[in-house]
Amino acid sequence: MRLRSGSFRFRGYKSFNEFEIPRLALVYQNLGNLSSLYYRLPGYTLVAPVLGLLAYDATNLSATNLPELDMAASLEPISVRFGGISRPSGITAKCVVFNLDGSIGLNDSTPDNVCKTYRQGHFSIVVDSADLAPSPSPSLTPPRSKGPTCRGSGKSSDLWSAGSCSCCCCRCWSSA
């Protein structure tokens, strides 16, 4: 059976034999320059933003704390592509997955910065911190930042909401 997004738009899919498929919301997150505030991996340095893909039960979109759905790919893995990442030659990059249960997994990434997964979660690319050149010593007075820059807009934002950037960090695709 093949379902298109319109099948879920108003009602989910309630009549496939004994199965009932709820309305769902897929949430895409790009933590951008806030990635290192939310996710750290000792001994490694993030070289790409943390990207998330999560599924929620959307039967009541006006509710708060929507229940998470356990989403998994069955045959072919989900590809997570990190564009615009340049790695110095000789440095091995790894895909890191921050699972919903708090566990962390490391896998080799492909040369074109693609990570593969069968489950939802948060993903990034890391390199061993020992492989990186030492950073320059910090200046005595660091420059004042205007706030996080939203991807694609080129503008900075001083708007903050619940400790995260209120602009362009999260996008929701809903069947509603």
Q: What is the pLDDT along the chain (176 residues), one digit of tens a residue?
A: 455 555 555 555 555 667 776 777 888 999 999 999 999 999 999 999 999 999 888 888 788 888 888 888 888 999 999 988 877 677 888 999 999 899 999 998 777 889 999 999 999 999 988 877 665 554 444 344 343 333 443 433 332 222 332 223 344 444 44
User: How long, in residues, is the chain?
Assistant: 176
Residue 3: per-residue pLDDT: 53
* CA distance linking residue 25 with residue 176, whole number of Å: 8
In terms of C-beta density within 10 A (0-12 exposed, 13-18 middle, 19 or more buried), how is residue 47 classed? buried
Strands (E), 60-103: 78-81, 93-98
Residue 8: per-residue pLDDT: 52
* Residues sharing a CB contact under 8 Å with residue 149, sequence separation 6 or more, in sequence order: 32, 33, 155, 156, 157
Residue 4: per-residue pLDDT: 54
Backbone Cα Rg of the chain = 19
* CA distance linking residue 163 with residue 166, whole number of Å: 9
CA 25-105-64 angle, 5° bins: 25
Name the residue with tokens 């110095």: 88
3-state secondary structure labels for all residues of 51-63: EEEEEEECCCCCC
Strand partners, 172: 27
Which pTM value belongs to this model?
0.65
* Residues sharing a CB contact under 8 Å with residue 17, sequence separation 6 or more, in sequence order: none
Distance of CA 125 to the CA centre of its chain: 11
